[in-house]
Amino acid sequence: MTIRILLLILFVSFNLSIDASAEVLLKAAYIRNHQLWMKEGDKEIQLTTDKYVSSPKWSKDGQYIAYLAGNENGEKTYLYIYDLKKKESYQPYPSIETSQIKWSPTSNQLAYNSGGVLSVTKTKNGRPHGFENVSLGVSDFEWFPNGKAFIVSSQSNLLPIGWEPVRLFKVPVDANLDTNKIKPFYTIQTNTPDLFAIDANYFKWSPDGSWVSFLLTPTASWSNDSNILGVLSSVGDHFQVIGKMLGYEKWIKWAPTRNQLAFISGEGRFFVVNKSTAVTEIPTLNKQKDYTPKGYVDLDLEWLSPDEIIVARAKENKAWKVGPVPTMFTALYVINLESGEQKQLTFPNNKIDNTPQVVGSTITWYRTSEKEDRGDVWIKDSMDAQEHRWLKNVDSPPTFFYKK
């Protein structure tokens, strides 16, 4: 009898531990009334009181939130870091003006681009402080997955014979402006009828680190209507053009476990037509597969699982030609890539659901309306769970911290 009771206790404890591990305690940084806030579980905390905040980003271990703060018009933004242990904001160095900040994938080191100068933070008393210059002439950048180097683009120049090619470089973190340490990584010949671009942006690594995707952008007016999505192998020896799309970083997503790339394809700056969810294997041998049904447009996406994608979808509007651009009332749909089945996930009822994010098994999205500047964050704990509001009256979608 005693043995049976012990086995029953062990069985119950085991199942409770599985259920507990399956639950994800949501933790997010977000902006409300221009100030930085954080929510963990059910507790909301205001972290700033006197700034115009944007672009919060979590450090790898979740101890720090880097963010930008500037004036009301957003003309100049400066780097700040919030330390959750010490409960204070600080500047790693006075007056670092930047609009690009990225944490290392392996440590609490922060990289930023200030006027074309790529720099990284040093460490003082165990936290990011000070800086060290890495490279000049930088347009955009991303860490290599090992945290030891950067892939860097440099915008091409217009010469009397035409535009230069777009050049990518591999830059060690410790380059310290030493050009002997900086190596050419790949040169994209772009001054051709089929491939014209003057810059490369939005670098994103595949889950196994063997490929990097990026957007090749032409001159400003042209890029409002069309850009070229490309991929490059991690050793810089294989480049492929994938498709054409608008210049939205969040419209490009790698699958969580496979070298599959999902993106929203289509040209034309207006959202009313010609925006389709496409998925392709990398390296690609066949034409991309489109999943948006006729008569609809997809305007956001997120991977739910290796075989499922969530999209923000609306009915297309071919009737619109001139006048104010019509609002696209998107709802969320789930696409099963294996079966081809598609079903509606949210029913916003004359509101707009966008920016789907998946945190563990939890699905989150941002819900707003046509005439509101702010919105609410809604969640479903699983596909079949009841939706409920998690954040109210926030300026933009939150940034979640999720330690895998």
Task: Give the span between the Cα atoms of 262 and 281, in whole angstroms.
Answer: 9
H or E segment and range at residue 81: strand 77-83
Cα–Cα distance list, 375 to 297, 308, 311, 347, 397 (Å): 22, 26, 19, 16, 8
Q: Which two tokens stand for residue 255?
A: 């699958």
- Average pLDDT, rounded, for the chain: 93
pLDDT (tens digit per residue) in 293-331: 999 999 999 999 999 999 999 999 999 999 999 999 999
Q: What local confidence, expressed as pLDDT, does residue 11 receive?
A: 44
Q: What local confidence, expressed as pLDDT, does residue 142 receive?
A: 98
Residue where the block lists tokens 């409920």: 388
Q: What local confidence, expressed as pLDDT, does residue 193 receive?
A: 77
Count of Cβ atoms closer than 10 Å to residue 18 Cβ: 9
Task: Give the span between the Cα atoms of 3 and 397, in whole angstroms.
Answer: 52
Alpha-helix residue ranges (DSSP H) falling in 289-352: none
Q: What is the pTM of this model?
A: 0.92
Q: What local confidence, expressed as pLDDT, does residue 23 receive?
A: 58
Whose CA is closest to 393, among 48, 50, 52, 30? 30
pLDDT (tens digit per residue) in 255-299: 999 999 999 999 999 999 999 999 999 998 777 899 999 999 999
Count of Cβ atoms closer than 10 Å to residue 183 Cβ: 13
Residue type, 221: S
Whose CA is closest to 156, among 202, 112, 188, 182? 188
Q: What local confidence, expressed as pLDDT, does residue 10 receive?
A: 43
Answer whether residue 36 shows pLDDT above 90. yes
Higher pLDDT, 8 or 356: 356
Beta strands in 6-73 (DSSP E): 27-32, 35-40, 43-46, 52-58, 64-70
Q: What local confidence, expressed as pLDDT, does residue 194 receive?
A: 84
Answer whether residue 20 shows pLDDT above 60. no
Mean pLDDT in residue range 105-132: 97
Q: What local confidence, expressed as pLDDT, does residue 18 receive?
A: 38
DSSP state of 221: H
Mean pLDDT in residue range 139-147: 98
pLDDT (tens digit per residue) in 104-113: 999 999 999 9
Whose CA is closest to 47, among 74, 70, 28? 28
Task: Give the span between the Cα atoms of 89 and 53, in whole angstroms.
Answer: 12
Q: What local confidence, expressed as pLDDT, does residue 336 receive?
A: 98
Answer whether residue 21 shows pLDDT above 60. no
pLDDT (tens digit per residue) in 167-190: 999 999 999 999 999 999 999 998
Answer whether residue 19 shows pLDDT above 90. no
Q: What local confidence, expressed as pLDDT, does residue 358 receive?
A: 98
Q: What local confidence, expressed as pLDDT, does residue 72 receive?
A: 78
Q: What local confidence, expressed as pLDDT, does residue 190 receive?
A: 87
Q: What local confidence, expressed as pLDDT, does residue 284 receive?
A: 82
Q: Which of 63-77, 96-110, 323-337 has the lowest mean pLDDT?
A: 63-77
pLDDT (tens digit per residue) in 200-250: 999 999 999 999 999 999 998 999 999 999 999 999 999 999 999 999 999
Answer whether residue 3 shows pLDDT above 60. no
pLDDT (tens digit per residue) in 336-388: 999 999 999 999 999 999 999 999 999 999 999 998 889 999 999 999 999 99
Task: Give the span between the Cα atoms of 88 and 85, in whole angstroms.
Answer: 8
Q: What local confidence, expressed as pLDDT, does residue 314 receive?
A: 98
Q: What local confidence, expressed as pLDDT, does residue 287 receive?
A: 79
Q: What local confidence, expressed as pLDDT, does residue 223 receive?
A: 95
Cα 318 to the center of its chain, rounded Å: 30
24 pLDDT band, cuts 50/70/90, is low
